[in-house]
Amino acid sequence: MKNDHKIHCNKNYKTLGNVDILKFHKTAFLCSRKCPAKIILRSYDWAIEQREKGACIISGFHSQIEKDVFHYLLKGEQPIILVLARWFMKNVKPEIKKALSSNRLLIITPFVEGITRVSNDRANIRNQLMAELADDILIAYAAKGGNIDKLILSNSLIDKHVITFDENNSK
């Protein structure tokens, strides 16, 4: 895998990091900002399991639970894809720099330079891109009427393997 930390452009998004990660089987992780405590614990266990399996996870890692999952994943060696709902960050945290340097992180944004704030519309665009790039999608929790709920109700997931922690709700 190449060690290339330049921004690359695709017709739909820009990338920073190891673009070869896109070749891996990818599971998207989505979770609403507000979720029950049992979902938080299941998400932590799931993240550790995925890390140990070496699974490639794609997420916006924006909600607190998603940030926590990102934290668990960064402790491993598996590939990770971070999809932003804004332009690339100016101040990169040391753990993100380390993952980029190790060629195990790809950061993607569908937005142009100058877009520095996340909005609901931008989060929806980011979620749509994640759904397009992912092979499987784990929806840990979707708050009624929230962005993830809207993604579920759209036709975006029609050909995707969707997983939930409630096996009765898996697609």
Does residue 65 lie within any of the structural domains?
A: yes
Does residue 5 lie within any of the structural domains?
A: no
Which of 127, 137, 106, 142 shows the shortest CA–CA distance to 29?
Answer: 137
Q: What is the DSSP letter of 126?
A: H
Q: Are 77 and 1 in contact (CB under 8 A)?
A: no
Alpha-carbon separation of residue 101 from 3, 95, 107, 145 (angstroms): 7, 10, 12, 39
Does residue 119 lie within any of the structural domains?
A: yes
Residues 8-30: tens digit of each pLDDT:
556 688 999 999 999 999 999 99
Average pLDDT, rounded, for the chain: 87
pLDDT at residue 83, rounded to an integer: 96
Does residue 91 lie within any of the structural domains?
A: yes
Whether the pLDDT of residue 113 is over 50: the answer is: yes
- Name the one residue in this structure whose structure tokens are 């639970």: 65
We report the CATH number of the domain holding residue 61 as: 3.40.50.450
Please give the Cα distance from 166 to 112 (Å, whole number): 37
Does residue 18 lie within any of the structural domains?
A: no
Does residue 14 lie within any of the structural domains?
A: no
Whether the pLDDT of residue 54 is over 90: the answer is: yes
Does residue 15 lie within any of the structural domains?
A: no
Kindly provide the b/e burial profile for residues 31-44, where b requires at least 16 CB atoms within 10 angstroms of the residue's own CB: bbeebeeebbebbe
Please give the Cα distance from 113 to 87 (Å, whole number): 5
Per the structure, the complete domain to which residue 148 belongs is given by 27-169
Q: How confident is the model at residue 152 (pLDDT cuts 50, 70, 90)?
A: confident
Does residue 127 lie within any of the structural domains?
A: yes
Q: Are 29 and 57 in contact (CB under 8 A)?
A: yes
The count of structural domains within the chain is 1
pTM: 0.88
Please give the Cα distance from 112 to 94 (Å, whole number): 24
Percent of the chain with pLDDT over 70: 89
